[in-house]
Amino acid sequence: MRFKFPIRYKVLLLLLFLLGLTSFLFYKFIGDFTINSLKDEINKRMDSVVQNLVSTCEDPLIEKDDLFLAKITKEVKEKEGLEYAMVLDKDNIIFAHSDLKHFGKKYEKEKFKSPHIFVKEKEIYLAGKKYLGKVIIGISIDVIKKKVRRLQGMVLLITILIFTLGFLLTLLITKFITDPVNLLKRGTVEIARGNYDYRIKKYPKDEIGDLAIAFNEMAKSLREKEMIKDAFRRYVSKQVAEEIFKNPERYFQSLKGERRKVAVLFADIRGFTPLAERLPPEKVVNILNNYLTKMTEVVFKYEGTLDKFIGDCIMSVFGAPISHGDDAWRAVKVAWEIQRYLAIQNENKEDVEKLKVGIGISYGEAVVGNIGSKERLEYTVIGDSVNLASRLESIAKGGEILISSEVYESMKDKILAEKLPPTKVKGKKREVVIYRVKEVLF
């Protein structure tokens, strides 16, 4: 099973990554910059302390005022938070120290040297020439680190605060983005299920909202097209309809009008008017609906087009809008199957309810297309072939299938048919040759 990683989490991870990177850079660079600035400030401050001590110690050193210098070094240590402060004379003897136990001793650098103490020192000269001694101060590295840690803590706190607010904002952004997407997803699922009435009701006023509006328009359009398809399927078989829907441009020309060879079938119930007079209206409607339903089912079975109902008569076309190459053969099979069906049905019915149908089939060139007025169009076929099929149906007796010579010639090895005497039909100057189908060899 393919693992699905929701877009909400993708966006969330991306924004969290960018937010984390931003927070890290803020902590790293802003923190380092601030810490370095602090160290520079401490260094300058120590330089200032040393310089002040040098200025203060010049006269006391000349006058050998060790008490004054001891007091000064002690005050400087306490005031500035130093580890120690001392003044050396020109012989490198500790003349003053913040800790009196070091007074008078020889200054040994190694004793005061420590990795935990940062040392600053400056020599003292009289009038810039005569060497008088040296000022040395030491500050604990821990003090510096403590201040640095305090500053780092503040930077870290600000970073965490920024990250937390950014995280909450990221959740809000992902929700704002993915909720409309989920609505679109739900709508897509509904459309895929065939629910073309589904609409997205709540959506933001932005590009995603525009997409939701477009989705609703698409659903409306699909609904209208489905209604058109449903209506179209009532005229042609499902297979023919689907074939047309796959490539509608291919059949657009035929809707405008074109000439093509088609087979036309007319089927009419014999004696239906007296039957309608003898039976209750509900019974008549029920009988007629059952017959027309079966007739339509058989026409669609052989991928014909249901042209129209004319009372109890049905007209169907084979070869338009799609030609199969054996359209006349399909029409004959429809006629034969419906006659067999009625024969079986009539065995179990009273004479008053038995249906007998006369069927006429012709095959030839006709004009196919949408015909009618601006207000109403009808997809149909017109031409001499259509008229001939209608005339053959009118002279066919109940249970008979009459076909034109063109139909017979196209399938004479597939049927058993009886040639009838040349017949004069309305609309034809010459008599036409017709055949009565006696058997269909499936």
- What residues contact 351, with CB distance under 8 A and at least 6 apart? none
Q: Mark whether 277 and 425 lie in a shared domain.
A: yes
Q: What is the pLDDT of residue 402?
A: 96
3-state secondary structure of 358: strand
Residues 131 and 209 in one domain: no
Residue 166 lies in a domain: no
User: Domain check: are 223 and 313 in the same one?
Assistant: no
**Mean pLDDT of all residues in the chain?**
81
Q: List residues bridging with 354 in a β-sheet.
A: none
CA distance 198 to 220: 9
pLDDT tier at 392, thresholds 50, 70, 90: very high
pLDDT band at 4 (very low <50, low <70, confident <90, very high): low
24 has pLDDT over 90: no
Residues 200, 257: one domain?
no
Is residue 188 in a domain? no
In this structure, the strands spanning 356-372 and 401-404 are parallel
128-132 average pLDDT score: 83
Segments forming the whole domain that contains residue 119: 7-145
Sequence-distant (≥ 6) Cβ neighbours of residue 117 within 8 angstroms: 83, 138, 139, 140, 141
The reply to whether 283 falls in a domain is: yes
Going along 271-400, which residue ranges are E strands?
305-310, 313-318, 356-372, 377-382
Total tally of structural domains belonging to the chain = 3
User: Looking at the domain assignment, is residue 70 inside a domain?
Assistant: yes
Q: Is 279 helix (H, G, I), strand (E, B) or coil?
A: coil
Q: What is the pLDDT of residues 200-235, one digit of tens each?
A: 776 667 666 777 777 777 777 777 677 666 655 565
Based on the domain organization, do 132 and 22 belong to the same domain? yes
154 inside domain: no
Which range (64-68, 69-73, 176-180) has the least confidence? Answer: 176-180
In this structure, the answer to whether residues 220 and 260 fall within a common structural domain is: no
For residue range 143-154, what is the model confidence (pLDDT) as tens digits? 666 766 777 677
Whether 277 is covered by a domain: the verdict is yes
pLDDT, residue 317, reads 94
What's the whole-number mean pLDDT along residues 396-411? Answer: 94
Residue 169 lies in a domain: no
In angstroms, the CA 428 to CA 404 distance is 13
Are 136 and 93 a contacting pair, CB within 8 Å? no
CA distance 396 to 182: 64
pLDDT value, residue 1: 46
- pTM, whole model, 2 decimals? 0.53
Same domain for 202 and 128, yes or no, is no
Clarify whether residues 99 and 228 are in a common domain: no
Task: Please give the Cα distance from 118 to 142 (Å, whole number).
Answer: 10
CATH code, domain with 67? 3.30.450.20
Residue 305 near residue 235, CB atoms below 8 Å? yes
The answer to whether residues 212 and 344 belong to one domain is no
Residue 130 within any structural domain of the chain: yes
In this structure, the answer to whether residues 285 and 388 fall within a common structural domain is yes
**Cβ distance 441 to 416 under 8 Å?**
yes
Q: Which CATH number goes with the domain that contains 332?
A: 3.30.70.1230
- According to DSSP, residue 30 is labeled I
Residues 208 and 111 in one domain: no
